[in-house]
Amino acid sequence: MPEENTLLERDGVRLTVDDAVATVTLCHPAKRNAQTPALWRALTEAGRLVPGQVRVVVLRGEGASFSAGLDRQAFTPEGFDGEPSFLDLARGSDAELDAAISQYQEAFTWWRRTDLITVAAVQGHAIGAGFQLALACDLRICADDAQFAMRETSLGLVPDLTGTKPLVALVGYGRALEICATGRYVHAPEAERIGLANLVVPAADLDAAVADLAAALLAPPRDAVNETKALLRSAVTTPEAAQYAAERAAQGRRLRDLAGVGE
């Protein structure tokens, strides 16, 4: 059996790799894995460190909750040690504020790379930034105690960590608006019913369910899975004719590969 290697462990993030499966763990359970700019930088670094042989990345949170969202200390005048507070950022120029948020978003975008399939294993609370981090992944396996909520509007804010597009794609505009505008909790059974969760299992079975899914994702040839992910990601916004052409081109590459014919 390959030995699990730890490639990163800092600022509440741990990256381990076991052959073709990497696991990114939010590891600050005492604060319910609340998120900070330092944690976001560590998540971005984890994405850069994932080795090329990895095909599946599992995202999980230690303790009772996946992630309770943004650490509210960000809104205090003092902020975090060595970091500008969000109040300080608000006093900066438009360009500075845009650059800061863009950097934060990098922690949420790499999960959509077409060379990886990413799976969020969600238990307990996935609130705000935690909800958006789960939405950043391709698939979500949830414990039966999982609770999602987009609480940004209650703070006078909007979801800005790349979660709006996948949420609308999964549940539709009307339901996404209702979830975000009210800030209500979406519990596991509803999450499965409306398409937020691919599967809901008893909390004690979450690890086994994620392991089973990872094994199933590793079974087909990697290039076929990657090409399929790329096609599905483009399907929503690509005009029909262009999508059909993309399918033909992808299948041509697959057939040539299977036949051992170089391009």
The pLDDT tens digits for 167-222 are: 999 999 999 999 999 999 999 999 999 999 999 999 999 999 999 999 999 999 99
What percent of the chain shows pLDDT beyond 70? 98
CB 198 within 8 A of CB 217: no
Do 124 and 163 have their domain in common?
A: yes
DSSP the chain: -PPPEEEEEETTEEEEEETTEEEEEE--GGGTT-B-HHHHHHHHHHHHH--TT--EEEEEESSS-SB--B-GGGGSTT-STTS--HHHHHTS-HHHHHHHHHHHHHHHHGGG-TT-EEEEEE-SEEETHHHHHHHHSSEEEEETT-EEE--GGGGT----SS-HHHHHHHH-HHHHHHHHHH---EEHHHHHHHTS-SEEE-GGGHHHHHHHHHHHHHSS-HHHHHHHHHHHHHHTTS-HHHHHHHHHHHHHHHHHHHHT---
CA distance 130 to 166: 14
Q: Which of 180, 203, 202 is nearest to 127 (CA)?
A: 180
By CB neighbour count within 10 A (0-12 exposed, 13-18 middle, 19+ buried), where does 222 fall?
middle
Q: What is the per-residue pLDDT for 105?
A: 98
Do 227 and 172 have their domain in common?
A: no
Q: Give the lowest-confidence range in 128-137, 180-189, 253-262.
A: 253-262
CA distance 87 to 49: 32
CA distance 234 to 251: 15
Q: What is the per-residue pLDDT for 84?
A: 83
Do 226 and 190 have their domain in common?
A: no
**Interval 101-121 mean pLDDT:** 98
Domain coverage including residue 23: 5-218
Do 123 and 246 have their domain in common?
A: no
Do 19 and 149 have their domain in common?
A: yes
- Residue 77 banded pLDDT, cuts 50, 70, 90: confident
Q: Report helix angle 129-136 to 94-109, nearest 10.
A: 50
- Structurally, the chain folds into a number of domains equal to 2
pTM: 0.95
Q: What is the per-residue pLDDT for 263?
A: 58
Do 249 and 139 have their domain in common?
A: no
Do 141 and 205 have their domain in common?
A: yes
Q: What is the per-residue pLDDT for 41?
A: 97
Do 37 and 63 have their domain in common?
A: yes
Q: What is the per-residue pLDDT for 1?
A: 40
1-29, pLDDT tens digit by residue? 456 899 999 999 999 999 999 999 999 99
CATH number of the domain that residue 127 is part of: 3.90.226.10
- The phi-psi region of residue 11 (left if phi > 0; otherwise alpha if psi is between -120 and 50; otherwise beta) is left
Q: What is the mean pLDDT of the chain?
A: 96
3 or 164: whose pLDDT is higher?
A: 164
Residue 75 main-chain phi, psi, to 5 deg: -95, 0
Do 212 and 244 have their domain in common?
A: no
Do 162 and 175 have their domain in common?
A: yes
Do 164 and 243 have their domain in common?
A: no
